[in-house]
Amino acid sequence: MNAQLTPRRLALAASVLSAALWLAGCGSPGAVPGQLSGAKAGASGAVPRASNAATARDYRRDAARHVYDLNRSRIYSGQLPPILYAVGTLQVNLDTGGKVVSMHWLRAPQHAPEVIAEIERAVLQAAPFPAATRLGAVTWTDTWLWDKSGRFQLDTLTEGQQQGD
């Protein structure tokens, strides 16, 4: 069979690709590209104070504080134990208004899928994040340090970790 690229075949291929991309974006409501779990968005409703951070690295502190403010009962107080249940590093892409556009796991705690879901849920529920007025759209990367109790710290604001014997 001779598969020549005729205008008709190109149009058909373009429409199939367009439909596939549209369907890919129609996942579960509240889901964003890059999610590994079925966690849903349940927006906090709170509109955070804008961030005046000049770099993505500076923005990390504002985003981490925002997550802490919305999860006070889930933050591990004091130094974390020497052995953690899970550690995950997640990049979160935010638009100019602080809405979560996508996620990308740099290190997902695959042994603990429930932690992946909890982290993704915490991120989605924290939206909108502080708008980065000097940066516009920004990528927030942080490492989630997860204790077996279900409480956590973010590396940006961690109180450290106890030394093992």
Residue-wise pLDDT tens digits, 78-125:
999 999 999 999 999 999 999 999 999 999 999 999 999 999 999 999
Q: Is residue 49 one of the residues assigned to a domain?
A: no
Residue-by-residue pLDDT tens, the chain, 165 positions: 555 666 665 555 545 444 444 334 444 456 899 999 988 876 666 778 999 999 999 999 999 999 999 999 999 999 999 999 999 999 999 999 999 999 999 999 999 999 999 999 999 999 999 999 999 999 999 999 999 999 999 999 999 999 976
Q: Could you list the residue range(s) of the whole structural domain that residue 97 is in?
A: 56-75+85-148
Q: Is residue 51 one of the residues assigned to a domain?
A: no
Q: Is residue 39 one of the residues assigned to a domain?
A: no
Q: Quick count: other Cβ atoms within 10 Å of Cβ 107?
A: 11
Q: Is residue 123 one of the residues assigned to a domain?
A: yes
Q: Is residue 127 one of the residues assigned to a domain?
A: yes
Percent of the chain with pLDDT over 90: 72
Q: Is residue 113 one of the residues assigned to a domain?
A: yes
Pick the closest to residue 145 from 70, 79, 60 (CA basis). 79
Q: Residue 103 has what DSSP assignment?
A: E
0.85 exceeded by pTM: no
What is the total count of domains within the chain?
1
Cα 71 from Cα 61, distance rounded (Å): 15
19's enclosing H/E stretch is: helix 7-24
